Amino acid sequence: MLEDKDFEFVEETPVTNEEVPAEDEITADDFTLTEVDSSIHEQKFQTKPTTFTKDAFRRFKKNKSSVAATYILGTLVLLSIVIPLVDRSDIQNSHPEEIFLSPKLFNAGTGFWDGTERYSNIAVDISEMPNATTEEEKQEHWWPSPDVYTQRSAISKKKFTDLTYVNSLSNLGTFGKEGYVQFGFDRNELKGNDFVEFSSQEIPELELAANSLYLSAFDTYDAEKIQAKEGKEDFGLPTNYVLGDVALFFSYYEGETKQEVQLVDYAKVHNIGSALASYKKDKVDIANVITTQTGKTTFEKARFAIKMATAGEDRLVCNLIGALAFESNFAEEETNAIFADMSFTDATKALTKTADDRFAYWSSTGLRAIYLSKAYFCSFVYDTYEAKYGVAVDPNFSIKDLLRYQKNGWISFKTPLGDSTLRDLEDLGFYLNVNEFTCEILDKEKCPITKPLTIDDFVYPTPSDGIAVGEIVCKAEVCRYKKFGYSSMPRFLLGTDESGRDMLKYVFEGLRTSLIVATLTFLICFTFGVIWGSISGYFGGNVDLIMERITDILGRIPFMVLMTLLILHWGSSLPMFVMALCMTGWIGTASLTRTQFYRFRGREYVLASRTLGASDARLIAKHIFPNGLGTIITAEVLLIPSVIFSEANIAYLGLGLQNVSSLGVILSDNQKWLSVHPYLLLFPSIIIALLMISFNLFGNGLRDAVNPSLKGED
């Protein structure tokens, strides 16, 4: 602790009388200016002034997914404008000769996007060389249906299955061989009938006088013996069936009354004329049986019927019919000759009848199916472009085309008198009937005909004074892509549809139409919806109440009903279609805008602006709307793909745009080909998916870009 004794007081030295300068007195001599560097340094501003647009664009660029979506959208829009202008393919008319060509970018044989189609397990015609055993013989002589796979040169890489027994005709056409007709009934489904029958085609008039008619084969079999013979036990037949009694009848009409003659008694197994020696019997003279029992030789509406009695209480009764054949001496030119052609020894053909098959049979009642039909199946690659555009013999080549080729200088006609110019069909008829001539090819690059024509390649009527168009038929080997006007084998990147339209041009023209419809709808709905929602959300109260009730009433009207009424009343033109979409399409925008105005109208900066005298219009346009624009834009950008989806749904119901291509119309027209030609829906669907994803990402980027609260942020 300090005490007074701890301190000592010392007297200071007195100050002299010398003058001391004041502390705050500064003179110029106190400073010396020295130049350190001749340059003047200035520090730049760290930030730059910018506008709202520039700042929004800078933020948008930082969102890479949005930028990528923008490029995709821009590319699609550009292609929708350029491709319909550059691609000269005709999509307004039908081109039957160019239907269902597969998409092709690479040459055939590459295995991907090469215009080929791969088929598996297609039944082949084994009528040629049915005993072929080697793979080479099969590949050379066995082919699938020429009605479907029209060009054999377009088929490659064939691979066959082993001999197959089938009980179904769905995939065979007429290419299954032999087999048996499974014929019977289900008692639960007879509905009071006393018998079931398997009837032949009706002959309008049958004349048996001076003609013989024999039944040379009427073979029915016990299924168990057939299964044992073929080594196919329990192959397809129900296990609880009973072998039924079968008989053969001849029926005809006397006026309106049907008459019948029984030719063969009811029995379980018949083998008249059968190859099985143990059941061998003489053929039956049924002409004699018929005339003896009826006393008639001329019959109207004659036919045969194989009948099965329904006696017994068993639920399933059936039999197997292997053959029904006749022998006759009918002349080919007689109407009665159809009778002999009605026989069948191939059960498969009997069940796959066509309108022209005289041997065809059908069952009006009971069960009918094939049993143990022999078939081979093939897998192969089919070049659709070779099938449509390759070299092939045209059996009905147009004479008008010949005259046109002559006029173009592609061909010339050589006669014994030298070159000759044909003026019309009458000239051609003269040379065909009088002189020998040939048709020489002068320009092989342009002329579709690949081989010179001789008089033997023309089929013409007997000589006459006048020769009409169509009477002369030419058989020529033609390069078909040249005939269709192409200089080389064409290729369609997206294939062709059922009318032969180029899907590349068709899809992008449809995209252009859909974008126009969607953009117009978006602009109208967005503009009107924003105005309506702004007024409702800003003023609130009774104004909001009245406007919301109006919106509720419009929103409760079923969209499809409203759409149908408008389209049926004013038609389905593009302006009417847009107006129909806009009738209620703005309600969602109005509701979202109203919500944003309720969110921001009470904020401090709005109250401050109102205090400073800002008008309602300025508060709406400058203070509230920009802050809610990000959310509104994000949601409403999706209105464009939504309109495209709506248009597709409406088109599916048959209310879409008429005589105008759009993505919805394309999808609606091609949906029936989904399982056969999926590419017809694949490419339009991909474009719609790209639009949906891209607009979504674009909207997200636009939301961040136009949000004022993010201004200046990195």
Is the same domain home to 569 and 464?
A: no
Mean pLDDT over residues 570-582, rounded?
81
**What is the model's pLDDT at position 658?**
72
> How far apart, in whole angstroms, are the C-alpha atoms of residue 495 and residue 144?
23
Domain annotation covers residue 81: no
Q: Give CA separation, 316 vs 100, 265, 299, 367, 614, in Å.
A: 45, 22, 36, 10, 93
DSSP per residue over 603-666, as a string? SHHHHHHHHTT--HHHIIIIIIHHHHHHHHHHHHTTHHHHHHHHHHHHHHTT-S-SS---HHHH
User: What Rg value do the Cα atoms of the chain yield, rounded?
Assistant: 45
Domain annotation covers residue 144: yes
CA 27 from chain center: how many Å? Answer: 101
Give the residue carrying structure tokens 């039957």. Answer: 96
Structure tokens at 643: 């309109």
Each residue's pLDDT tens digit, 192-209: 555 677 777 777 778 877
Is the same domain home to 369 and 340?
A: yes
Domain annotation covers residue 80: no
Each residue's pLDDT tens digit, 158-193: 888 888 888 877 666 667 888 888 888 776 666 555
Is the same domain home to 382 and 369?
A: no
Is the same domain home to 281 and 224?
A: yes
pLDDT beyond 60 at 556: yes
> How far apart, in whole angstroms, are the C-alpha atoms of residue 500 and residue 494?
12
Is the same domain home to 213 and 310?
A: yes
Classify 67 in phi/psi space as left (phi over 0), alpha (psi -120 to 50) or beta.
Answer: alpha
Q: Give CA separation, 479 vs 40, 100, 321, in Å.
A: 86, 19, 48
Mean pLDDT over residues 591-596, rounded?
89
Domain annotation covers residue 25: no
Q: Which residue range(s) make up the domain with 679? A: 503-710
Cβ atoms within 10 Å of 438's Cβ, excluding its own:
13
Is the same domain home to 211 and 284?
A: yes
Q: Using the 3D structure, point to which of 375, 403, 425 is the last residue of a domain.
A: 375
Q: Using the 3D structure, point to which of 357, 387, 417 is the last residue of a domain.
A: 387
Looking at every residue in the chain, the average pLDDT score rounds to: 79
Residue 575's Cβ-count burial label (10 Å; 0-12, 13-18, 19+) is: exposed
Q: Give CA separation, 214 vs 152, 335, 361, in Å.
A: 41, 18, 19
Q: Are 373 and 404 in contact (CB under 8 A)?
A: no
**What is the model's pLDDT at position 186?**
75
Mean pLDDT over residues 327-346, rounded?
66
Domain annotation covers residue 43: no
Is the same domain home to 238 and 254?
A: yes
Least confident among 33-47, 109-123, 285-299: 33-47
Name, of 6-20, 222-236, 292-306, the range with top average pLDDT: 292-306
Res. 278 pLDDT band, cuts 50 70 90: very low
Q: What's 331's DSSP letter?
A: -
> How far apart, in whole angstroms, are the C-alpha atoms of residue 168 and residue 184?
16
Is the same domain home to 435 and 356?
A: no
Is the same domain home to 460 and 588?
A: no
Whether the predicted model's global pTM rises above the 0.75 cut: no
Angle, CA 305 vertex, CA 299 and CA 310 arms, to 5°: 140
**What is the model's pLDDT at position 279?**
41
Is the same domain home to 662 and 540?
A: yes
Number of domains, the chain: 4
Is the same domain home to 556 and 649?
A: yes
Is the same domain home to 224 and 286?
A: yes
Domain annotation covers residue 555: yes
Q: What's 163's DSSP letter?
A: P
Q: Which of 603, 584, 599 is nearest to 629 (CA)?
A: 599
Angle, CA 120 vertex, CA 114 and CA 122 arms, to 5°: 115
Domain annotation covers residue 397: yes
**What is the model's pLDDT at position 339?**
61
Domain annotation covers residue 24: no
Q: Using the 3D structure, point to which of 319, 343, 375 is the last residue of a domain.
A: 375
